[in-house]
Each structure stands twice: as C-alpha cells, then as structure tokens.
Homo-oligomer: A and B are copies of this chain.
C-alpha cells in the first residue's frame, strides 16, 4: 500500500515524501536510505562545497537521489551545481533566492527542478522560472525559513501555482502531518528534522540525543548563528535552532555580537570542534514534540506512510 499523488508520478517515487537537503546533516547515507525506502533523498549541498558533495555522492552508492542548494550562496559558486549535475541527479532543489538563473541549466541536464519558497510571491517567481515542484515551507521548519506558517501558506501557494505539484514543509514529523499536508492541497511533504533524528543522518550522537529530549517550544528563529558563522543571509530568512546557551546569550543582542565578533568566533569554532552543543548550533524545527527516538530512516518513512494512510481513511470515515 502507498499514497499515490502527482508528486510520486512526477519524481518516479513510491511515497510522497522528500528528505530536506539539510546542510551537514543530509549526507549520502541518509539520502540513499530515504530513496531506497521509497521516498526521494536529497543531499544537503548547502553553501556549495564541491568536495563534500563528491564525498556524499560516493557514500550514497548508486541510489537514485538528488541534491539541494542555498540559492544565494550557489550564485557565488555555481561550479557546485555543475558537479552535481554530472551525477545525473533525479532532482535539484533550490531554496532562498531567485532560482531563475539556474532553472534552464537544471532542467536541460534532465533533473527535475524543485524550488522551495516561503511566500506566495516567491512561489509565483518559481513557477514562472519553470519549477517542476514547489515546496511551500512554513516558519515551523528547522533551519532557515521565513515567517508564514505551513497551515496558512500551503493552500494559497497550491492555488497560485496550479497545476504544479506542491510539497508542504515545516512542522511535519508523523503520518498525521503528511495527511494534513495532502488535505491542504499539497501532493506530498518534505521533512527535515524527523530525518535528522535517524541513524543515517550526519551529526554527532549528542546532537541527535538533544533532538529527542527537546520539544518544539525549545526552538527559536534567530540570526545569531549566521552572525557568528559570518554567513551573509538576507534578512528575510532566519534559522530555527534549539535555544541553547549561545542563543540565550546573544538573541536580541545581534549588534553587540557583531561588535565583539572576533572574540565570539574563536569560542564558537572551538565549541563546534569539541561538539559542545550548549554553544554550537543544532538546527531543528517545531515538529520535535513528535520525535521520540533515533531510528533507521526506513523505519521512520514506513511508519509515516502507514500512519498517514490510516489517518486518511479514518478522517474520510467521519463523512456521513
């Protein structure tokens, strides 16, 4: 049994579930595991380090996967896209910036173009650029994102870009969330944090343990990690992360952090080097309340789809 939608048809996958290309988390092993379990795994190309991407493609073996990039960063080093396209990815996902300059290159290489957006306006831009799939990402998502919520953003995006299939992202971590995404008019869902909490995800076991121990209320949208990492994120996107000691110290005091940046950077890098997650960032979304264990990605995906099917049948039975 599975759930068949325009997304599964278009991408040639069994289940309407896409792995979010989380930078430094969605490596080749996780992407391969998600694809082999029937979803679509995307390597987290992030800021576009070609050697890291090569290594992760090697780790994925011959699994049928794709990759994702941060668009404004890719614009500064477009060679990373070329390296990925030579791998014949199923799809390339672009987020956070205008996809138009890359759209023809991606599609001419035979890859599907997935564009993630945070506003209705950007959904229209992505549709005009030729996106094959549009991901409508709510503010509850982990990592970078905007201010609109999944519940209120997905339906108007679906209406604005029809008939392009939409995947919902943000706050989805179980079968109920996937079923809700389909109810909102999406043809599937993109999940990040739920797959971070898997055996195959990159990341330190202590970071994953914190995901299991935390709830959505322990996360916050903030720019402090972008400031200390000297990343030039445009102001409309902030990163949702666990509220640790570093966040508590600097959130709301970003100007002071910038003024004392050289001192802070040294301490932050040392925290990253020593896996000190009171200081180093753990990006995570509000779906954390639904995550109870670190499991193999296939077990997560199997249960997700089975529970979504149960939910869809149960709710349809309320119509009398």
Contacts and interface: CB of A to CB of B under 8 A. Distances in A.
Interface of A: 1-5, 119-121, 138-140, 148-153, 155-156, 170-174, 176-177, 179-185, 215-217, 285-287, 289-290, 309, 311-313, 315-316, 318-320
Contact of A290 (B1, B119, B156, B309): B156
A217 B172 CA distance: 22
Contacts of A313: 316, 319
Contact of A152 (B120, B179, B285, B320): B285
B153 A176 contact: no
A179 B315 contact: yes
Contacts of A2: 319-320
Interface of A is mostly: helix
B312 A315 contact: yes
A180 B120 CA distance: 20
B148 A150 contact: no
B152 A287 contact: yes
28 contacts: A1-B319, A3-B318, A3-B319, A4-B320, A120-B215, A120-B289, A121-B217, A139-B149, A140-B148, A148-B216, A149-B150, A149-B151, A149-B171, A151-B172, A151-B177, A152-B289, A156-B216, A156-B289, A156-B290, A176-B183, A179-B183, A179-B184, A180-B184, A182-B183, A312-B315, A312-B319, A313-B319, A315-B316
A149 B220 CA distance: 12
A106 to B, nearest CB: 28
Given A150-B151, A151-B140, A285-B152, A183 B315 contact: yes
A103 to B, nearest CB: 24
Given A2-B320, A3-B320, A4-B318, A183 B312 contact: yes
Contacts of A216: 148, 152-153, 156
B152 A140 contact: yes
